[in-house]
Amino acid sequence: MRLLTHNMLSSNIKGVTSGFPLRIEVEKMVEKEVELNADFLRNMFAKVEWKALVEASKTLGYTELPDNVEPSMLDSDEFLNRFHHALLELHLEEGALVCPETGRKFPVNKGIPNMLLHEDEV
């Protein structure tokens, strides 16, 4: 599961108001190279929750992302590379996503998070 997806997911449990971002517990992570597309990155830049992305990439062991960003940084290739790497090339293979409000763990196996809610959480 890429950090792109992690940045879009929120805890869906009944009654939870601030289910984003989900905390990450890493057991295994991989890096998979993928082609960089500047247009896509620019498109996503506006939608990504930056703080959550920085936190998540740090949890996966990547600390090169700047804490504060401005749209002008998108012109820098160096920044785009780092952004691209964090967003699309870091994969969480085994571990869990944790709801920040209830602490409920959503296990991640083979890169697939299990977001199925129990009967009482719907």
Which of 23-31, 35-43, 68-76, 78-86 is the region at the interface with other proteins (rule: CB under 8 A)?
A: 35-43
Binding of other proteins by 9 (CB under 8 A): yes
Please check whether residue 17 is in contact with residue 101, taking contact to mean a CB–CB distance below 8 angstroms: yes
Buried b (16+ CB within 10 A) or exposed e, 89-116: bbbbeebbbbbbeeebebebeebebeee
Binding of other proteins by 115 (CB under 8 A): yes
User: Considering only residues 76-105, where is the footprint of other proteins by CB under 8 A?
Assistant: 88
Binding of other proteins by 111 (CB under 8 A): yes
**Residue in 18, 28, 30, 43 binding other proteins, rule: CB under 8 A:** 43
